[in-house]
Amino acid sequence: MRFLITAGPTREPLDPVRYLSNRSSGKMGYAIATAAAEAGHQVVLISGPVNLPAPAGVTIHSIQTAQQMWETTRELLRDEAPDIAILAAAVADYRPKFQHDQKIKKHQDSLTLELERTPDILGSMRQPFNFSGLLVGFAAETENLIANAMDKLQRKHCDLIIANDVSGSDTGFDTDQNEVILCFPDGRAETLPRQSKHDLARNLIQRLTALAFAIDKPSS
Ligand code: CTP
C-alpha cells in the first residue's frame, strides 16, 4: 500500500532570525514511517524541521511552514495517490500576520504580535483535496481527551483519531514512550497500553492496513 505521513513541527517566521514553533520532536511520525517501510509499504514523509535520521526506504519532503506542508500534501496526494494518510505533524495553528524583512530591534518596552490562522491540512484532506483513502489524525489534548478527539474525528471526516494526553511530562511531545486512545467513527474508544513509539508504530501499521482492507478504502 501507499502511505503519506506528515511529521514534526512547523516553523512560522517572524523575521529573518525568529520563528514560532512547538515542542514536537517528530519521533512518532518518523516511527510510523519507519514501521510502514519495514512492512514493505511505499512511504512518502512530509517533514518539518527535526533532528532525526531519515528512515530507510522512505521518500522525505522537507518543509518549514504550515503553508508549505499544505501545498506539498496537496501535490503528493495528486502525484502519489496514497491509500492511507497519517497526519502526525504538530502544525502551528497560527503564524505571524506580518513577516519583517529585517531583524526586529528592541526599540520598544513591549511588542505585540498579530497572528493569523494557518491552513488546516487535516481539515483539507476530504475537501478541497478530495482524498478518499483511509484518513488518520492525531489529537494532542490537555483536557476532555476523548470528547475533543471524537469531535475532531467528525469535523474532519477521519477514519481514526489517535488521541494522546499531553498534560503529563512522560508521554506525548518529545518522549520515547506514548500512551494513546484510538477513537473510531462509531464512537468506540480503545486505550492501548503504554509502549515505546516504535512498538506503537508497528502496532498502528498492522491495524491500519487491516482496516484499509476491511473497509475497502484503498484506491488500487
Ligand atoms: N493538523 C493539520 N493542520 C493544521 C493543524 C492540525 O493537519 N493546521 C492536524 C495534525 O497533524 C493532527 C490533527 O490535525 O493530526 C490535530 O491537530 P490539532 O491542532 O490538535 O486539532 P485542531 O482541530 O486544530 O483543534 P484544536 O487546535 O482546536 O485542538
Assess whether the C-beta atom of 24 lies below 6 angstroms from ligand 1: no
Structure confidence by residue, pLDDT tens digits, 183-220:
999 999 999 999 999 999 999 999 999 999 887 644 54
Q: Identify whether 105 is part of a domain.
A: no
In angstroms, the CA 70 to CA 51 distance is 21
In angstroms, the CA 35 to CA 199 distance is 9
Q: Which residues lie below 8 Å from residue 216, measured CB to CB, with a gap of 6+?
A: none
Structure confidence by residue, pLDDT tens digits, 73-106:
999 999 999 999 999 999 999 999 999 999 999 9
Which atom from ligand 1 is nearest to the alpha carbon of 92? 8
Assess whether the C-beta atom of 138 lies below 6 angstroms from ligand 1: yes
pTM recorded for the entire structure: 0.94
> 134-141 and 2-7: which strand pairing?
unpaired
- DSSP helix/strand/coil, 5: strand
List the residue whose alpha carbon is closest to atom 1 of ligand 1.
122
Q: 32: domain range? A: 2-100+112-215
Q: Identify whether 220 is part of a domain.
A: no
Tell me the C-alpha to C-alpha distance, in Å, between residue 172 and each of 74, 204, 207. Answer: 27, 16, 21
Q: Identify whether 107 is part of a domain.
A: no
Q: For a ligand 1 pocket test, name from 91, 116, 131, 157 the mutation site with the most ligand atoms within 8 angstroms of its C-beta.
A: 91
- Letter for the amino acid at 91? V
User: What one-character-per-residue DSSP string does 129-195 give?
Assistant: T---SEEEEEEEESSSHHHHHHHHHHHTT-SEEEEEE-SSSSSSTT-SEE-EEEE-TTS-EEEPPPE
Report the domain count for the chain: 1
CATH code for the domain of 202: 3.40.50.10300
pLDDT greater at residue 153 or residue 178: 153
Amino acid 168: pLDDT = 73
In angstroms, the CA 160 to CA 20 distance is 29
Q: Identify whether 201 is part of a domain.
A: yes
- Letter for the amino acid at 64? Q
22 is catalytic: yes
